[in-house]
Structure 1
Amino acid sequence: MNRTALTALMVLASTPAFALDWSDVPAKEVVLFYPGQSSLEWVLSGDHGGAPKVKNGKACKECHLGEEKDMGATLVSGAKNEPAPMAGKPAFIPATVRVAQENGRLLVRLEFKEGAQPDSKMDPDFATKVTMMLDDGTLPEATQAGCWGTCHEDAAKMPAGGTGERTKYLNRSRAKPSRQGAGDELVAAAELEKMRASGQVMEFWQARLKPGMAAVAASGTIFDKRMETKPSAVTAEASSNGDAWTVTLSRPLSAPAPYKSIETGKTYTVGFAIHAGHTARRFHYVSLEHSLALDKGDADLIAVKK
């Protein structure tokens, strides 16, 4: 990134988000549930009864919307896909989500109560982290499965992850995907560069939170690995009252690569995650995939102009 683009990005990222009046912005409840070790490979395997439907193109939400609380209860208990259940861990977190646009920025606001969370002591720096992933239709795996397009059997703390530190990644970056994950052997460098240049990456926005402290924003992409972009084009602001949080993530609709351009007339896929109780890695709550559009349309979330 050249110095001019870098300076412009830093200026754009400094715009405050809380000045916006959210009282007339439509709200949608999104339930985030505990997923255990349910990887993309598991979703596509015979261990998941819906695998044939997924392989035929059906999206996760088509079968499981409305079942998030029940799925979270099963998984957090250790009855399925969770070898290390945490005593007292809530099964799900309902979040009220609003999206808007103002002064050339997309703003995403989540309000939620995280409940009585056991302290996992995994992340000593941040008690809570709120993340949104975004795709612009370039990745069919994101449209169909949201965040699961990046979640693999051999990532850190997953069944085949061993003691490694492998991050989230996209299968398309790997030479040999398998039931146990795709490992570290990448496709040819020229093909990697071609995919990256054409925007075949998942974008993420994150707010890192500690009660009484200003939110810390982070953002970046997931392709062959999870890579943070600095400086971040994303801003994050938050307030808390007990276990209740209000978090606003925002960024310019137009930002330099590797960020995706967010435009009227296109439909985007978003997924949300919340780490609570000082958790890290896979020990989070996740949503199913949801659609987002600017101004109007049939999407789950419509970013209204303010």
Structure 2
Amino acid sequence: MNRTALATLMVFATTPALALDWGSVPAKEVALFYPGQSSLEWVLSGDHGGAPKVKNGKACKECHLSEEKDMGATLVNGSKNEPAPIAAKPAFIPAMVKVAQEGGKLHVRLEFKEGAQPNSKMDPDFATKVTMMLDDGKLPEAAQAGCWGTCHEDAAKMPAGGAGERTKYLNRTRAKPGRQGAGDELVAAAELEKMQASGQLMEYWQARIKPGAAAVAAGGTIFDKRVEVKNAPVTAEATQAGDTWTVTLSRPLAAPAPFKAIEAGKTYNVGFAIHAGHTARRFHYVSLEHSLVLDKGDADLIAVKK
């Protein structure tokens, strides 16, 4: 093979998502809504009318699917769980989501208009961040509550977070979960090792974007804390046409630990988040939990093979 042919091959090998025929891939609208400071502890408390149902195993979307836009409108104006509303902040962002697999990779594409976002001046480097969390069925809290399985009252920028920098975490790693969060006291080291060895963690993929620049990809895990993995096997592409962003997150189906194997015949739980308006940790948008499978099956999102 001559050098020209090899260079051409390398370009296509590193940009598979751009080469996909996305027009033939089914799309699903996913509403990402403004959640304010609604933590997992709030969801399970008496302040949330659905708490008894959640404690009995009911998933959030069983009650709230199709209500996301209304919930966002209630929360963004400070009527509930938001002590510092941002004037003119949109209540929700609708995204058209497509998933496909090609060349041994899973590609997740979100197309959305983020609206007129006030500049929060929290993240000076990136105007917008698009994130997907993924669980492979080992975390019941992810199937039941999506991103809320990692969102706690005592995390940074949350009501009981104070001036601390505590990140997202899983309650199962903590010795004393409570209404104000679980603090920093962990369960025994042997138990933590056992959980990690069995894959009881949440994985995330992220695209960090700003107009006129290439997307920056990041990936990592959430266990006892949020950890960004150096050289994570996640790639990101982003294009902007007018006021519409198209963002594609990609990752090999087979990836080294701590990333999960993505296989046909298994159901995965995913949740999406968009930090718009230069936000960080706060003032973002989230989806309810959604299911994902490869090839075919009973799920919200089906990754077709291209």
Q: Within 5 A, what are the aligned runs for 1:140-219?
A: 140-219=140-219
1:34-62, Cα deviation, whole Å (9 max, x unpaired):
00000000000000000000000000000
Runs of 4 or more, structure 1, over 3 Å off, are 13-16
Look up the equivalent residue of 2:216 and give its one-letter code: V
- Pairwise mapping of residues 226-241 of structure 1 onto structure 2 (< 5 A)? 226-241=226-241
Aligned-partner Cα distance in 2 for 1:47–1:117: 30
Q: Which 5+ residue runs of structure 2 have no aligned equivalent?
A: 1-12
Determine the C-alpha separation between the residues in 1 that align with 2:163 and 2:194: 32
Alignment of 1:1-306 (within 5 A): 14-306=14-306
Displacement, 1:151? 0.2
2:16/2:103 contact within 8 Å kept: no
Note closer, same or farther for the CA distance 1:194–1:14 as it changes in structure 2 (3 Å cut): farther
- Shift in alpha-carbon separation, 1:136–1:76, aligned structure 2, 3 A: same
Q: Contact 1:149/1:170 (CA < 8 Å) preserved in 2?
A: yes
TM superposition shift of 1:242: 3.4
Whole-angstrom CA distance in 1 between matches of 2:74 and 2:243: 23
2:290 partner letter:
H
Contact between 1:57 and 1:144, CA under 8 Å: does it hold in 2? yes
Count of residue correspondences: 295
* Corresponding residue SS for 2:17: coil
Scaled by the length of structure 1, what TM-score is found? 0.95
- Cα shift at 1:14: 4.4
Query: Identity of counterpart residues, as a percentage?
Result: 86
* Structure-1 separation of matches of 2:237 and 2:107: 11
* 1:98-120 deviation digits (Å, cap 9, x = unpaired): 00000110000000000000000
1:282 and 1:63 map into 2 onto residues whose CA distance is 25
- Give the letter for the 2:262 counterpart: I
Cα deviation digits, residues 144-197 of structure 1 (max 9, x gap): 000000000000010000011100000000010000000001111111111011
Q: Distance in 1 between matches of 2:17 and 2:122?
A: 30
Instruction: Report the secondary structure of 1:114's partner residue.
Output: coil
Paired AA for residue 170 in structure 1: L
Indicate the residue corresponding to 2:3 in structure 1: none
SS in 2 for 1:196: helix
How far apart, CA to CA, are the structure 1 residues paired with 2:84 and 2:274? 19
Cα distance change, pair 206–78 in 1 and its aligned pair in 2 (3 A):
same
CA distance in 1, matches of 2:190, 2:156: 27
1: CA distance, partners of 2:214 / 2:73: 32
**Distance (Å, rounded) in 2 between the aligned partners of 1:243 and 1:210:** 12
CA distances 1:188-211 after superposition (whole Å, capped 9, x unpaired): 111111101110000000000011
SS at match of 1:17: helix
* Structure 1 CA distance for aligned equivalents of residues 77 and 175 of structure 2: 36
8 Å contact 1:14–1:235 — kept in the other structure? no
Shift of 1:283: 1.6
Q: Residue 236 of structure 2 contacts residue 250 of structure 2 at CA under 8 Å; is this kept in 1?
A: yes
Partner Cα separation in structure 2 for residue 232 and residue 259 of structure 1: 9
Indicate conservation of the 8 Å contact 2:102/2:305, yes or no: yes
> What secondary structure does 1:23 align onto?
helix
- For normalisation by structure 2, the TM-score amounts to 0.95
